[in-house]
Structure 1
Amino acid sequence: MRAIIFDFDGTLANTLPICFYAFQNVFKKFDNKDLSSEEIKDMFGPSETGIIRNNLSNPNKEEAIEYYYEKYSEHHKSLVVSNLEILELLKSLKELDIKIGIFTGKAKRSLDISLKALDMDGLFDVIITGDDVINPKPDSEGLLKALSILEVINSDTIYIGDSDADVIAGMRANVFTIGVQWLPEYQTSTFSEQPNLIVKSVKEFKSSLKVGV
């Protein structure tokens, strides 16, 4: 194994509450709609900008996108808590000379906000966001792009995510795919396509890799 690529929201950070909050504010302000977390989750796939452009009825979509980032940034500190266990995992993988990356549907702008806030900035060897692909998850385009940049082959790579779209993208890219449910909030409780492994805790994942706990 030479590389591990992670999804972000619900996998590396418990950012789902801030995502839901920001989207709920956008749709309430611009469409006067009260959306549940589940209704927002059903829109996931494209980046935040794609979600707003595809689902908002109000024509002021660029203004709505700016409002999303305003809310996302303004309340990040209160709604997203840094997970030291995951941070230590990432650092331990780097010490083992394992390349680590992110493949997320999230837009670069919001990912940058989160990485800086959670002290993860500069840790990753490759980052592919929703802005970097034509076809969002469950398409494997972004994952294959990450492998190419890292110069690793699929049999030497693990992809880790918390949603059906992550698992399907990993399987399509023919990499070892792990579904995780190790954070308080994750996207999928039952995967429609079975990943190679389901992991319930960071400690369990470390044990499976023989990484020091």
Structure 2
Amino acid sequence: MKYKAILFDFDGTLADTLPICFYSFQKVFAAYDQRTLTDQDIVAMFGPSEIGIIQQNLRCKDRVHEAIDDYYLHYEREHDRYVSSNQEILELINLIHHKGISTGIVTGKARKSYDISVKHLFPGDLFKISITGDDVVDPKPHPEGIIKAMNLLGCLPEETLFVGDSQADIEAGIRARVKTAGVNWLDNSHGSEFSIKPDYQFSSISDFICELNREVRNS
């Protein structure tokens, strides 16, 4: 089967953005709640977009909107300090396009932070479509975002591969009935163990490229 579309999660899969997310949340919760959060404290809040995380977890409810604005201020101002462009990832996306396969993003990030990171890391119009946390009612592991992406690209589940680094990514892909690839090829991914096994698992981008070439040859 030659894939018509490969969909990617963003944070921890295509971009090593978890450090800037941790930093920005830690600054906000320290400033507004006087709380010192660890990286794992923040991971435990993941699911909703950044806006949802702050709305649900900030104790200082009368300053939520101000806190959200500050989150994005920290996120953009310190982005280049915490996040570097990855040449291997750029080459991978260009290779996929060269093979005539569409690419898309399905991420829990809010549109604003996604746009900031894409501007810094992925110059040009690399991704045909993007579904962010602002575009869905139900975040991953619900399959809504993947299904929306397939509909926009005109692809069937059997023509689609979803690539992600978290258990929620793999579960969402399975529920959308697409093939799934679990990856831990960046320094700050969600981990290498998946309680629900993906169809493929990769710890390096080169291994993913080898499998992609094999699939194309055999299609």
Shared fold (TM-score, shorter chain, > 0.5): yes
User: Separation in 2 of the partners of 1:188 and 1:143?
Assistant: 21
1:11 alignment partner in structure 2: 13
User: Separation in 2 of the partners of 1:121 and 1:184?
Assistant: 25
Q: Select the residue among 112, 117, 127 that pairs with 2:115.
A: 112
TM-score, with structure 1 as normaliser:
0.97
Q: 2:181 aligns to what SS in structure 1?
A: strand
Alpha-carbon shift at residue 119 of structure 1 (Å): 2.5
Which amino acid letter does the alignment assign opposite residue 102 of structure 1? I
Alpha-carbon shift at residue 201 of structure 1 (Å): 0.4
* Pairing 1:102–2:105 present: yes
TM-score, with structure 2 as normaliser:
0.95
Q: 2:13 aligns to what SS in structure 1?
A: coil
Q: 1:109 aligns to what SS in structure 2?
A: helix
User: Separation in 1 of the partners of 2:124 and 2:182?
Assistant: 24
Which amino acid letter does the alignment assign opposite residue 24 of structure 1? Q
Tell me if the contact between 1:87 and 1:120 (Cα under 8 Å) persists in the aligned partners.
no
Q: Deviations over 1:10-48 (max 9, x none)?
A: 000100000000001111111111111011011111100
1:41 alignment partner in structure 2: 43
Structure 1, unpaired ranges of 5+: none
Alpha-carbon shift at residue 120 of structure 1 (Å): 4.2
User: Separation in 1 of the partners of 2:213 and 2:192?
Assistant: 26
Tell me if the contact between 1:100 and 1:126 (Cα under 8 Å) persists in the aligned partners.
yes
Structure 2, unpaired ranges of 5+: none
Which amino acid letter does the alignment assign opposite residue 54 of structure 1? Q
1:54 alignment partner in structure 2: 56
Aligned alpha-carbon RMSD (Å): 1.2
Q: Select the residue among 202, 206, 213 that pairs with 2:205.
A: 202
Residues 1-213 of structure 1: matches in 2 within 5 Å?
1-59=3-61, 60-210=63-213
Tell me if the contact between 1:115 and 1:121 (Cα under 8 Å) persists in the aligned partners.
no
Q: Note closer, same or farther for the CA distance 1:120–1:163 as it changes in structure 2 (3 Å cut).
A: farther
Tell me if the contact between 2:183 and 2:192 (Cα under 8 Å) persists in the aligned partners.
no
Q: 1:5 aligns to what SS in structure 2?
A: strand
State the identity as a percent. Answer: 48
Alpha-carbon shift at residue 188 of structure 1 (Å): 2.6
Number of residues of Structure 1 aligned to a counterpart in Structure 2: 212
